[in-house]
Amino acid sequence: MEIEVSEEAGVRYLHFGSDWIQGAMRIARPWSLELDYTREMMTCLLLRPELRWPRRALLVGLGAASLTKFLHRHRPSTRITVVEIEPRVVAVARQHFKLPEESTHLDIVVADAVDFMMQQGPRYDLILVDGFDADARAGMLDTLPFYVNCRARLADDGMLITNLLSRRKDFRHSVARIKQAFDDRAFAFPSCDNGNAIAVAVIGEQLELTMEELKKAAVKLKKQTGLNLLPTAARLEQSTTCAGGVLSI
């Protein structure tokens, strides 16, 4: 796999030997989330707005380290583990995308995430899955066994957020697999313009939030981090999961 870095209009991009963008960083704001889908993956912080949540987070796929850097900066008490299959991606993220040094709160594991999820280990409050090959295929990361293993590694009231990508913008089969693994407690946003769709799945107690609570959480998050998820809250309001103005999962 060829790894390439390009720059345009103040934004640095990561590619795996093709035009597909595997990550991006605005050079003047390396800690911000440049791509729409990465911002939407932070929906978890609207659904669990406590500052000390998540205690533990697992990120599958490093890419340009956007999600890693955002959580590392804005949730400093979170213990973050990143699983990345390609050691060269880790090296490029350090050299070109300001990946922080490993510490007691950041652990980079070079491994196949499918194997990693089958092992015994700590449970995580949050699992973020964003892993693709050079042809933008998720492979085994978009299978029922993988989603079942993700569920087994979640702590009580844990949450899975996964990035789905399709040239045809057809995510029905992926969402069906996630729902099967999570007893139907999952939903997906409508596709972003670039062909990504973000799916959310939860376990534990029923999660119920009014649109007013979600919007208040979005305003608070924007003040804390600069990340504006009010458009995401509006997209939630339009989804079938918000019947009667209440998000219920």
d(CA 77, CA 54): 9
Whether residue 8 is contained in a domain is answered as no
Model pLDDT for residues 114-132, shown as the tens digit of each residue: 999 999 899 999 999 998 7
Catalytic residue (choose from 36, 130, 133, 184): 130
Q: Which domain holds residue 112?
A: 30-233
CATH assignment at residue 48: 3.40.50.150
- Does residue 135 register a pLDDT over 70? no
Whether residue 23 is contained in a domain is answered as no
Average pLDDT, the chain: 91
- Does residue 106 register a pLDDT over 90? yes
When divided into structural domains, the chain yields a total of: 1
Whether residue 4 is contained in a domain is answered as no
Whether residue 238 is contained in a domain is answered as no
Whether residue 109 is contained in a domain is answered as yes
Q: What is the pLDDT of residue 133?
A: 67
d(CA 28, CA 107): 26
Q: What is the pLDDT of residue 114?
A: 95
Whether residue 2 is contained in a domain is answered as no
d(CA 150, CA 229): 26
Q: What is the pLDDT of residue 51?
A: 82
Task: Clarify whether 130 is annotated catalytic.
Answer: yes
Q: What is the pLDDT of residue 237?
A: 76
What pTM did the predictor assign?
Answer: 0.94
